[in-house]
Amino acid sequence: MSTNGEIVSRIRNSFKFTTKDSRVPARFILQTLRSIVSNYISQRILDRTIQYDYNIYTSIECFEFEKLDSINCPIISLQRCDILMKSKKPLPKLIYSRLGSSLKSAVSIDGSTELTILDEQQYRRNKNRKYQIKGTAYLFQDGEGFLYIPDQEVLAVNIDFITLETDLVDELSACKKTDDCKSGWDYAFICPDKLLEPVIKETLQIIGATYGAVIADSNPNGIDKQPTQ
C-alpha cells in the first residue's frame, strides 16, 4: 500500500507546470484524494461490498474509557444510566453511509465482551423493548468522535474501523508508543486496491480543472521525494 506522500507525488508528477510556484499544494491534493475515496467507500459500505477489504481497516488496541457522571452527559438518552463510560479521546474522522459509520467491531481487551455498535436512536429503541437480552453491551459515537458504553463498566477495548486520517491513530492507543519521527506523509494512503486507479483519475480531473494544469503525456508512474507542504 502506498503512503500519502507517494500518492501525492504521483499526482504532482502527472502535470506540466510552467513554474515551480504554480505547483498544487500537497495538502490540497491529499484533501481531494481523501474526499473522493470517502465517497467511494461510503457507497460500498451501503451495498455491503467492502467488509472483506481488510487492508483498509485500522485497528487500535487498548482504546481507553473512563466513567462519566451520566447526569452531566449531553446525550439525553444516557442521562439515566447507572454506569456510563466515555472514551478518553475521540476517534479520527470515520466514513458514514445510511447504514451508519465505518466502525466495524469493538471487543474488551480481555476478549470477554463484544460490544454491539449502534447509534443513539437504535439504543433508545432497544432500551424501550419489553424483552431485552441480559448482558448485552452497546457502543456508539457522538458527533465529536467520542465513544460511549452505557450500562457496562468496560475500561478499554480493541476496535477496528475505517478512517483516512491514519496519521492520528498511533497516539490513541494506551499500550503503543508513538513514533515522533514519523511524518504524516509516511502513513498509508487508505483506499481499496480496486478503487485506486479510478480515484487517481478523478483526482487528476479535479486538480486539472481547478488549476488549469495540463496532464503530462508520459505515464504517471514516477514517484519523487516526499512533497513539501
- Would you state the torsion angle of the CA atoms of residues 155, 122, 50, 135, taken in this order, to the nearest 10 degrees? 40
- 146 falls within a domain: yes
Position 87 pLDDT exceeds 70: yes
Q: Looking at 18-32, 54-68, 86-100, which range is the least confident one?
A: 18-32
Is 220 domain-assigned? no
SS3 104: strand
16 and 41, same structural domain? yes
Question: Does a structural domain hold residue 86?
Answer: yes
14 inside domain? yes
- Are 63 and 154 found together in one domain? yes
Does pLDDT of 60 surpass 70? Answer: yes
pLDDT of residue 224: 47
**Number of domains observed in the structure of the chain:** 2
Summarised one tens digit per residue, pLDDT across range 144-189 is 899 999 989 999 999 999 999 999 998 899 987 766 678 899 999 9
Place of cell 447504514: 99
Q: Which of 13-17, 132-136, 202-206, 208-212 is predicted least confidently?
A: 132-136
Angle between helix 4-12 and helix 26-46 axes, rounded to 10 deg: 110
pTM exceeds 0.85 for this model: no
Per-residue pLDDT at 8: 95
Task: Give first-to-last CA distance, the chain, whole Å.
Answer: 22
Distance CA 177, CA 18 (A): 44
Q: Is residue 9 part of a domain?
A: yes
* Domain interval for residue 26: 4-52+183-215
